[in-house]
Amino acid sequence: MIRKKGQGTNQRTGKKVVIGAVDDPIHPVQFWANSKGQRWDPLQPEKKLWSAVLEDAFQCCVKGQVSGESSKVRKQEEIENAKAWFLSEQTDIGSFLWVCKTLDLDPKRVLKRVTSLVDDKKMAA
């Protein structure tokens, strides 16, 4: 999916936002169209679940966001586990490759996007 760049205003807060910035979140809806141009069926709750798993791993890797209160050590462990999940070559249920297949996503393309954003984050730091 091509993301437009530009500026806008958050209707709820009235604050200006930059669209397409590195910290702009990617939501499951952006993954719901498959390679054949078919839309994701909202009646398939398992796809919604695995989209949320993918988004959670993405948020952990790219933004360093982990669920709940965590110590610095635990937070770093979760980030490293998320990175390892993306890089794993396993194909069993729940693996990155399996999730991509379930959601009709190209794992190489998703991984390329994640690694480019992680690299951008490191360069900005």
Q: Is 89 domain-assigned? A: yes
Cα separation, 76 vs 82, whole angstroms: 10
Query: Which is more confident, 90 or 32?
Result: 90
Q: Is 7 domain-assigned? A: no
Query: Which is more confident, 96 or 61?
Result: 96
Into how many domains does the chain fold?
1
**Whether residue 105 has pLDDT greater than 80:** yes
Q: Is 82 domain-assigned? A: yes
Strands annotated E in 5-125: 6-9, 16-19
Looking at residue 122, its pLDDT comes to 64
Q: Is 14 domain-assigned? A: no
3-state secondary structure 5-39: CEEEECCCCCCEEEECCCCCCCCHHHHCCCCCCCC
Cα separation, 112 vs 116, whole angstroms: 6
Q: Is 31 domain-assigned? A: no
Is residue 99 within 8 A of residue 54, CB to CB? The reply is yes
Host domain of residue 119 = 44-125
Q: What is the pTM of this model?
A: 0.60
**Whether residue 17 has pLDDT greater than 80:** no
Considering the chain, what is the average pLDDT of its residues?
A: 76
pLDDT tens, position by position, 66-96? 777 778 888 888 889 999 999 999 999 999 9
CB atoms within 10 A of CB 71: 8
| pLDDT confidence band for 21 (50 / 70 / 90) | very low
Looking at residue 63, its pLDDT comes to 82
